[in-house]
Every structure is written in C-alpha cells, then in structure tokens.
Amino acid sequence: MTLGLGVCLGASGCDGVFGGPSDFNVEVFASHHGVKLEDGTYPNYGEPDSPRSFVNDLGWEVFLDEGWFVVTQVFIRSCAGDNIELPLSFGPFPENVRSLDLDVVNIAGAELEGGEYCTLLIQYGPYDPQSAAQFSMPHSTETFDVAGATVKFRGSARMGDVLIPFEVRSNANGSVNLDISKVDEGAPFGTRDEPSGLRKLTFVKTYDRFFAGIDFNNFDQATFEANLITVLADQTYVITGTSL
C-alpha cells in the first residue's frame, strides 16, 4: 500500500485545507452617537465638525464645544486567554465627538491566526501630541487643548435663563473590555467565510449618557471627573462590521 503525504506551504500552512481555521485580517473602527430615540432612530445632535447639542433627562440643554476619547492601545484576546496587540493606524488616537455621529474611523488592525476570540480590549490614556505627530490624523487637535487628557468635555448647559459653562477631564489610564464571545450569531468572533478574508469590529460610545442625571445647579466637578472612565466603560459597546 502506498501512502500519499500532502505538504501545505505558505503563511497559513494547512489551515482551512482540512477544516482547520484560516488566518484572517481584522480591522477595528471607532464611532459614537447619542442614545436611540423611542422610535429606534438615532438623534441628530449636530453637523460635522460642529458642537453637539442635546437635552439630558433632567431638562438641561447641553452644548458640547469639545469632546474627546483618547485611545492608546487596542488588543484582542483569544478565548484561550492570549492577548494580541493590534497596531494603531494613527498612533494614540483622539476620537473627536464633533465629528459626524455614526461615522466610523479605522484605528487599528492586524492579521490574526485562525481561531476564536472572546474579548476586545480598548486602552485609554493621556494624549501625547509628540507621539501622535508622526502620524497623519483624520482630524486636527491643534485648535483644542487635548494634551494630557484621556477624556475631556468642554461646553455649557442651559435651563431657562440659567447658563452654566463647564470643562471636565480625566487624565487617568483606563481599559474597556468588550465581550465578543457571542458576536458571530452566538459564537465567538473568528474566522468566517469572507471572500476578502477581512473581518471588522466597531466599538461605539453613547456620549450623551455621560450627562444623564446631571443637575448643573448642583454640579460636582470632582465627582463627575472621577467617574469619567467608569462611565466610558459603561457606555461603550461593540458590533461586528461597521453598519450601525
């Protein structure tokens, strides 16, 4: 009896030939919007590159002249517990709330080994303009004071004749762990039958929720700032693809 031995060459070896998972590319996108309305649509809080305006649950009309979330690292964790860093497209990325809601920006990506992935980890930290200077950003920070901030909001709140300006920021490091163990129709994120071999994940912030329950007549800035990273984690979710 003669036995034939097959040899698989290339970066993926025999992956996919005998039913094993194939290597694939992943791209990670950032986005933001306001909480959906009762009819299931997204609110329109402003035009591109302009302040955001919305009313919180206590009736304060909030005007955001600035809003920033600074991403410093992105990791994806296999279901076996291995962390893989996904290189950032723009270095430390300051996501600008003034950019159009629901727009997506590709901020990280890499080729991954075939398999299953259970967690997307977003690391936030203080913005370092010098580290970012070598990259071409999709939007400029030059006219804003973002340096050293991890999360920042600047604007004002109005109720009747009362107008209260505010500026809040956190300079702390923080991590947001997003569960992707069931995003593929109940299964972990991983290899799928995609002709391009490309998979996409989008993590999204509902930024108006940072101001839920805030009575600006009794605004406690220290408490608000201390909670910014916690609220950021609570108000972030992840989807496959880029269609919100």
Structure confidence at residue 186 (pLDDT): 95
Structure confidence at residue 129 (pLDDT): 83
Structure confidence at residue 1 (pLDDT): 39
Structure confidence at residue 191 (pLDDT): 77
Predicted TM-score (pTM) of the model is 0.88
Structure confidence at residue 169 (pLDDT): 98
- pLDDT tens digits for range 192-232: 766 678 999 999 999 999 999 999 999 999 999 999 999 99
Structure confidence at residue 193 (pLDDT): 64
Structure confidence at residue 143 (pLDDT): 63
What lies within 8 Å, CB to CB, of 215 at 6+ separation is 58, 60
Q: Where are the beta strands (DSSP E) in 51-173?
A: 52-55, 61-78, 83-85, 93-96, 105-112, 116-124, 151-159, 162-170
Structure confidence at residue 138 (pLDDT): 65
Structure confidence at residue 133 (pLDDT): 64
Chain mean position to CA 122: 7
Sequence ranges of the domains in the chain: 24-240
Residues of the chain with pLDDT under 70: 1-21, 132-140, 143, 193-195
Structure confidence at residue 125 (pLDDT): 97
Question: Over the chain, what is the mean pLDDT?
Answer: 89
- Cα end-to-end span (Å), the chain: 58
